[in-house]
Each structure stands twice: as structure tokens, then as C-alpha cells.
Amino acid sequence: MREKDFVAGEYSGPFLDGKVTYRSPSNIALVKYWGKKEHQVPANPSVSFTLDTSATTTTLSYTKLAAPGKDFSFELLFEGKPKPDFKPKIHTFFSRIAPYMPFLKSYHFVIETSNSFPHSSGIASSASGMSALALCLMHLEKELQPGMDEIYFKTKASFLARLGSGSAARSITGPLMQWGQHQDTEGSSDLYAITYPHKIHEVFEGYQDTILLVDKGQKQVSSTVGHNLMHGHPFAEQRFKQAHDNLSELRRVFAEGDLPKFIEIVESEALTLHAMMMSSLPYFMLMKPNTLHIINKIWEFRAATKLHVCFTLDAGANVHVLYPASEKELILQFIKDELIVYCENGQYLCDQIGKGAVAL
């Protein structure tokens, strides 16, 4: 689909008041999105595991206005309380999606949102939050366009979510999602994510992600600022090419269940992401000493046991520990015995690969 396919046509359904709830998961990138062009177009394609228990639940209540307003009309409640500091982000989101959803100024919205993960855990909620809101808005648009099919619904939800936060495009379905145009994947697009269409070996069923909360504080540099530092970055072109190559290689790895190669690509992607931050101008570092202690412990344990445990990182100090379900018992014990000590207040979250967002 092209951009113009997402501009809404005539609305034939009635403009009713209503309410809808979606629960949308977070996701963890294996090949990282880092660097973007205008309009949230990624500089390279990425692929992610959709998560299961780490999720945002959003209820959107909508009331038709007597006449369309000059500006967007909405209230925002986070975990039951008004949250004025989230409002500018939602306002920007509405402004970006308004060309594709002309009904937005005809309603007053109440957005009630909550996360399954603890407040200020250092886990980014933009992917799960923006995708949940995009899905709620698509529910309303489907009422106005009753003939809309399921594929268009999900594709446009991903398209809209991307305009809120790039990684949110990948939180619609599962178990793996690919976002960004790539030569080996017909139907892949910079405008939205698709369900990973190639073969996935059964070793990835129920794949585990234990998230170690190393640092729950506010990040010094936001993802948005970090992405922008890829403009004029001395290693940018090589990095974008590497992401394309890693996606090509992962196609065979996913199909064959080649875990040693999977581990190599995933860890290399995580370290490259942070290497890009460290070699930007201005340079910055989001890993903490405990991030490095955990990485070294994982490497020692893997060398000693030959178990298939590896790590990845997002744009922060927390560590995602990835491993197959069949090795869960031994690896979870290792995590509890040797890694939790490096977490802030001993906090960690157990998650696994998931199927995507659901309407409640």
C-alpha cells in the first residue's frame, strides 16, 4: 500500500458516541531501527519479537461534537489520573495523523491508559501506547467505514502508530514483525510493519525475554534525539547496509533455527546500536556499569554451559535476556542467582514472544 491509500475516503457510517479498549504489547527489536528521515521514515529496516505480558491497555471514549473544533479536543488519564505532561506528545500524534483521519476534530476524546509494567521502570511505553491508541482510532474509523477489511485495518493501524513512534509500527501483530523496505521481503514497507512472512522454526515458539531493570531513571538522551544524530554520522551508511545484510541472514536463521548465528546477529545489533550512540557528535552512552557486568556474566555462562542465552538492549541501560523456552529452567535459575543482583531494587520482568494486540 502507498501513502495515499491511507487517506480516508468518504465516511458512510453514522457518527456515533462510543468507547473501545485495546491491549497492545511492547516489542523488542532484533535488528534495530536507529536513524530516520522526515515523516518517521526509517533509515533501515528492522525486525522485532512482539512481547506478550509487557503491554499498554488504552480505552478511548469518543463523543461527537456539535460542530468540528478548531483544535483537537481530548483528555488524558494515565493510571486513573490526569497526565498533562503526556498531552503534547498526543497532540503531535493527532496533528501527524489528521491528514489520514479527517474525523479527529469532530469528536471529544477521553483517553485512559495504563501499563502492565511498573511506572518508571525505564521500559519505554511509546511502542505499546501509540499502537494501542492507533488501534482504538481505527475501531472508530471502521464504524464510519463499515466495509473496511481486516488487513487494511491492521496495516493502517501500523501506519498511524509509526507516526506516533517508529517502533510502535511493530506492535500490532506477532510473533515477529518487520518494518522497513527490504529486498528479500515482498510487501515490506517503510510506511508500516508487516507480520514477518517467512518461515519461523519451532525453536522460536515461546522464546523468552527476561527484562532486567538496571536503571529506572529518566534517560539523558531521548530516542528521537539519538535518531537525529545519525544524520551526518561518520558510520551511518555502513550501519544501514549492515542492517539490510543482517535481515537477509536472519531469514535463513529463522527458517533453520540456527541459534548460534541468531545469538551473534542479535548481540552484534545491540552493541552496534550503542556504538552508534558512542560515536555520534555529541556522543553519549546509555549503558551503565551493571549493563556491562550482566553482558559479561551472560558470555561466561554461555561459554561454560553451551546454553543458548543472549542479550539485546534498547535505547537504555536495561538488558533483555533472550533464550528458548526449552532452556528456561536452567537459564532463569542463572538469572536469579547471578544477574538480579545488578538490577535496581532487584527488579526484573519475565516476558515471552507474543501474538500482538487484542481488542478487549
- Cβ contacts of residue 264 below 8 Å, gap of 6+? none
Residues in the chain: 360
Rounded to whole angstroms, how far apart are CA atoms 288 and 338? 17
| Per-residue x/- track, 158-197, ligand DP6 (CB under 6 A) | -------xxx------------------------------
Beta sheet of 310-313, edge-to-edge order: 310-313, 319-323, 208-212, 348-352
CA neighbor of 103 nearest in space, from 152, 144, 74, 153: 144
Rounded to whole angstroms, how far apart are CA atoms 216 and 344? 7
| Per-residue x/- track, 298-337, ligand DP6 (CB under 6 A) | ----------------xx----------------------
Interface pick for ligand DP6 out of 126, 131, 312, 352 (rule CB under 6 A)? 126
Nearer to ligand DP6, 144 or 265 (CB): 265
- Alpha-carbon distances of 150 from 100, 135, 216, 236, 294, rounded to whole Å: 18, 12, 38, 37, 42
Buried b (16+ CB within 10 A) or exposed e, 328-347: beebbebbeeebbebbbeeb
CA neighbor of 109 nearest in space, from 58, 160, 154, 164: 58
Closest CB to ligand DP6 belongs to which residue?
Answer: 166
Beta carbon of residue 29, minimum distance to ligand DP6 (angstroms, whole number): 3
Interface pick for ligand DP6 out of 224, 238, 296, 305 (rule CB under 6 A)? 224
Site for ligand DP6 in 48-77 (CB under 6 A): none
SS3 content of the chain, % helix, strand, coil (to 5): 45, 25, 35
Beta carbon of residue 278, minimum distance to ligand DP6 (angstroms, whole number): 14
Nearer to ligand DP6, 40 or 58 (CB): 40
Beta carbon of residue 355, minimum distance to ligand DP6 (angstroms, whole number): 19
Interface pick for ligand DP6 out of 25, 26, 32, 351 (rule CB under 6 A)? 32
| Per-residue x/- track, 247-276, ligand DP6 (CB under 6 A) | --------------------------x---
Rounded to whole angstroms, how far apart are CA atoms 20 and 136? 6
Q: Which stretch binds ligand DP6 (CB under 6 A): 68-76, 187-195, 219-227, 238-246?
A: 219-227
Nearer to ligand DP6, 39 or 198 (CB): 39
Q: What is the DSSP string of 102-117?
A: TTGGGEEEEEEEEESS
Residues in contact with ligand DP6 by CB under 6 A are 29, 32-34, 40, 46, 124, 126, 165-167, 223-224, 227, 273, 314-315
